């Protein structure tokens, strides 16, 4: 009986940096069992690229100028029979990790991951096995270990805010920018900025990332 030859894993590379795209394409095209079938330079190009190339796996950057990788992943995963997504980024903040996984990504790797490991991750994800870099896995395990205590503390902290301020915290936790928050909550941009400033002052926080992590700890995003 003749053997069956499996086709290569079809990969779409999405990154706004042309050098990064070229490097990933060159690396993956030389890896056994993988073929790069297309590239996109922004998240808004992903739907057309999916239709044109039918990839099995998408390597998705996070920060892109028009549509970010988290939003593009969420939209992609809402399609019928979507490809798997590996978020590949230089930014390993808890906010990015949690948003990527909640958007439906099957993997989260840092761009300093060795090339052979990225290729192996593509093959694993295509086979239905989620993948996280060891550094990310450790961070998530640490986060789970303190989650119970953090939940109660975060809820108590947020209780000091007004209902409107809590709405802004939830929106920040979901990764929304000021313009999106204004549209969602029917506020002017100046009002949103004022709320954010008051929240930082009231809670003794330094930046929006800390607000987002607080929202996650409280189970609100």
Residue of 32, 182, 205 lying closest to 119 (CA atoms): 32
Tokens of 19: 């050098």
- Provide the greatest CA pair distance for the chain: 72
Q: Which fold has domain 148-217?
A: Arc Repressor Mutant, subunit A (1.10.10)
The pLDDT value recorded for residue 192 is: 93
85 DSSP β-pair partners: 58
Could you tell me if 56 and 30 are in contact, meaning their C-beta atoms sit under 8 angstroms apart? no
pLDDT of 115 over the 70 cut:
yes
CA distances from 5 to 2, 8, 155 (A): 9, 9, 55
Among the residues of the chain, which ranges form H helices?
18-29, 46-53, 69-77, 94-103, 115-126, 134-145, 147-158, 163-173, 178-185, 189-203, 208-217
pLDDT at 20: 92
Asked, colleague to colleague, whether 9-142 and 148-217 share their fold, the answer is no
- Binned at pLDDT 50, 70 and 90, residue 129 comes out as confident
Sheet holding 131-132, edge to edge: 34-40, 9-14, 57-60, 84-89, 107-110, 131-132
Tell me the per-residue pLDDT of 181-196, one tens digit each, with 9 for 90 and over.
999 999 999 999 999 9
Mean pLDDT of 109-125: 89
Multiple choice CATH, 9-142, 3.90.1150.10, 3.40.50.2000, 3.40.50.2300, 3.20.20.70: 3.40.50.2300
Mean pLDDT of 104-120: 87
Q: Which residue has the higher pLDDT, 92 or 169?
A: 169
Per cent of the chain over pLDDT 70 is 87
List pLDDT tens digits, range 37-92: 999 999 999 999 999 999 999 999 999 999 999 999 999 988 988 999 999 888 66
pLDDT at position 135 is: 64
The pLDDT score that the predictor gives to residue 5 is 47
pLDDT category at 11 given cuts 50, 70, 90 is very high
Q: What local confidence, expressed as pLDDT, does residue 108 receive?
A: 83
pLDDT(209) > 80: no
Q: 56 is written with which tokens?
A: 């099995």
Where do the domains of the chain lie?
9-142, 148-217
pTM of the model: 0.61
Q: Render the burial of 161-196: b for 16+ CB within 10 Å, e for the rest.
A: beeebbbbbbbbbbbbebeebbeebebeeebbeebb
């Amino acid at each position: 009986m003749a053997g069956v030859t499996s086709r290569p894993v079809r990969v779409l590379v999405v990154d706004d940096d042309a050098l990064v795209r070229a490097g990933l394409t060159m690396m993956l095209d030389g890896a056994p069992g993988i073929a790069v079938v297309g590239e996109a330079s922004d998240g808004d190009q992903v739907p057309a690229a999916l239709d044109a190339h039918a990839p099995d796996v998408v390597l998705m950057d996070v920060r892109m100028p028009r549509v970010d990788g988290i939003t593009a992943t969420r939209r992609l995963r809402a399609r019928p029979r979507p490809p798997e997504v590996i978020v590949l980024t230089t930014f390993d903040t808890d906010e990015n990790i949690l948003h990527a996984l909640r958007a439906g990504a099957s993997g989260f790797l840092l761009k300093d991951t060795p090339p052979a490991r990225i290729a192996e991750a593509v093959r694993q994800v295509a086979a239905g096995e989620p993948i996280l870099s060891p550094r990310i896995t450790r961070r998530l395990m640490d986060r789970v270990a303190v989650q119970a205590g953090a939940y109660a503390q975060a809820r108590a902290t947020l209780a000091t805010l007004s209902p409107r301020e809590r709405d802004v915290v939830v929106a920040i936790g979901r990764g929304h920018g000021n313009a999106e928050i204004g549209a969602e909550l029917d506020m002017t941009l100046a009002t949103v900025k004022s709320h954010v400033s008051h929240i930082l002052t009231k809670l003794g926080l330094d930046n929006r990332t800390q607000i987002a992590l607080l929202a996650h700890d409280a189970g609100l995003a």
